[in-house]
Chain A
Amino acid sequence: MVETENINTQAIWKILEDVYDPEVPVLSVIDLGIIRDVSIDNPPSGDGGILVTITPTYTGCPAMDVISMNIRFALIQNGYKKVNIKTILSPAWTTEWMSETGKEKLKSYGIAPPKAMQSVCTPGIFQQEEAVQCPLCNSYHTKLISRFGSTACKALYQCEDCKEPFDYFKCH
């Protein structure tokens, strides 16, 4: 067991790099940008354990409960006995928090990564995201099929050149 005085938050961040999103298994919780803080829950208010602060991607994302459990398991396996996980909603998660390595991993997994700029996060009707690149043939000649895809965080696209349908991790 790791005693409170020996807890090193850098080591915790390192462990979290190996906790993956069950829905998009190439992304770690760090890549997703959902770990907002790692600290020691100091007495008297805390129990001297680790406090991991997370934020959900989407409010109804069913993966969040599993992610929370997996974070706990990973830390316990590494000898940390007291693990507290706190969920915060504000500031709201955005795809801008996704790491660059995360975006590269998504692309090689066959999911188009979110674009750097949020271009269509407004209620204006019939908007098209500009030039989402096909993760398979790299063509920018693609079209939106549906704003809502296989999970809350993705939209469904199709490539007009290679004709393959693909998921796009939409800006949020």
Chain B
Amino acid sequence: MKKDLISYTIHLADSALILGHRNSEWCGHGPVLEQDIAITNISLDLIGQARNFYQYAAQLTGNNTTEDTLAYLRDAREFKNCLLTELPNGDWAVTVLRQFFFSAYQYLLYQQLQHSSDTQLAAIAEKSLKEVTYHLRWSSEWVIRLGDGTSESRQRILNAIEDLWMFTGELFKPADYEIEATAKGFGVNAELLKNDWLQNIKAIFEEATLPVPDENAWMQTGGKTGSHTEHLGFILADMQFLQRTYPGCEW
């Protein structure tokens, strides 16, 4: 029970942290100042969510585990984030589409998770849901602006759909610890979120005049169980360098 609860909590934390880190790479590089601030605010929210989940996982794990050892001292194979969250930022279209796909998923996930039998997971979900609501609205609006914008913006978001679509299937394909989490009542059945997620994607894509890709297309998986794309190692090298080189360093 405890092992599955820890794995499940770390999985939720890892997805939030890695996407938060990716978005933070935009800091100082956003297309305009207001959107630079928006994407970094979203980063902050995601990293805040990750901290809450890591703190809880650390408390459950014991043995001097802390939120920092979980974030900074695990290797790529131990990370359980969804592949979608680790993909490179690409252009603005890739970044906002990645956020839209993930926020639409997180919105449904946290709506369910706030009724978890585990009171701490429920509390984190309840708190985070308010923030994810903003992320979902913001990213939906950008998908519409780009899709129904100029021929250049449209082409870019079409390319982004082409690049990202095959990483969306993993969100709804549960890993073993998610299946256990659902069976024991503290986790959310990810498979059951898929229909509502697709409905939301279709509604926004229709508004954006974008074609909806085939939902039965082949999907890439593996992130939830530690088989990552080549990109995660680079993120960890960047993120963990200081703690690996100067263990226990603080400022």
Q: Mark A23-60, 1 if CB is under 8 A from B, else 0.
A: 00000000000000000000000000000000010111
Does A10 have its Cβ within 8 Å of any Cβ on chain B? Answer: no
Contact with B along A58-73 (1 / 0, CB 8 A): 1111100000000000
For residue B38, CB closer than 8 A to chain A, the reply is yes
CB within 8 Å for A62 and B44 given contacts A125-B204, A125-B207, A148-B138: yes
Specify which of A62, A89, A124, A125 is in contact with B127 (CB 8 Å cutoff): A89
Per-position 1/0 for B128-143, Cβ under 8 A of A: 1111011011101100
Closest A residue, CB atoms, query B104: A123
- Determine the chain A residues whose CB is within 8 A of the CB of B130 once the complex forms: 92, 121, 172
Interface status of B45 (Cβ within 8 A of chain A): yes
Query: Do A123 and B48 touch across chains, with their CB atoms under 8 A apart?
Result: no
Within 8 A of B (CB), among A58-106: 58-62, 88-93
**Are the C-beta atoms of A147 and B49 separated by less than 8 Å?**
no
A21 to chain B, nearest CB (A): 16
Residues of B within 8 A of A88 (CB): 123
Query: Are A148 and B41 neighbours in the complex by a CB distance under 8 Å?
Result: yes
| A159 CB contacts on chain B under 8 angstroms | none
Chain B nearest CB, measured from A62 CB (Å): 7
A59 to B55, CA, bound (A): 12
Other-chain residue from B46, B123, B207 in contact with A60 (beta carbon distance below 8 A): B46
Given A58-B45, A146-B34, A123–B107 Cβ distance below 8 Å?
yes
Contact present for A89 and B124 (CB under 8 Å): yes
Asked if A149 is at the interface (CB within 8 A of a chain B CB), the reply is yes
For A146, give its contact among B38, B52, B137, B140 (CB under 8 Å).
B38
The reply on B67 being an interface residue by CB < 8 A is no
Q: Is A111 an interface residue (CB 8 A)?
A: no
Q: Summarize B's interface: helix, strand, loop or mixed.
A: helix
Tell me whether chain A's interface is mostly helix, strand or loop, or mixed: loop
A148 touches which of B37, B123, B126 (Cβ 8 Å): B37
Asked if B137 contacts A90 (CB within 8 A), the reply is no
Which residues of A are found within 8 Å of B235, using beta-carbon distances? none
B45 partner residues in chain A, CB cutoff 8 A = 58-60, 152
* Chain B positions within 8 Å of A121 at CB level: 130, 133
- Residue in chain A with minimal CB distance to B52: A59
Q: Which of B41, B46, B52 contacts A89, CB < 8 Å?
A: B52
Assembly CA distance A59 to B174 (angstroms): 26
CB of B42 within 8 A of chain A? yes
Contacts of A147 in B (CB 8 A): 38, 134, 137-138
Q: Which residues of A are at the interface with B, using a C-beta cutoff of 8 A?
A: 56, 58-62, 88-93, 121-127, 145-150, 152, 156, 172
Knowing that A60-B43, A125-B204 are A-B contacts, what are 14 other residue pairs whose CB atoms are under 8 Å apart, sorted by A's residue number? A56-B127, A58-B44, A59-B51, A61-B44, A62-B44, A122-B133, A123-B137, A123-B140, A125-B137, A125-B140, A125-B207, A148-B134, A149-B37, A152-B45
Q: Provide 13 A-B residue pairs closer than 8 Å at the C-beta atoms, listed in order of the A residue.
A: A59-B49, A59-B127, A59-B131, A88-B123, A89-B52, A92-B130, A93-B127, A121-B133, A122-B133, A145-B34, A146-B35, A152-B45, A156-B37
**Top 5 A-B residue pairs of the complex, sorted by shortest distance between their CB atoms:** A60-B48, A59-B48, A90-B123, A60-B44, A148-B38
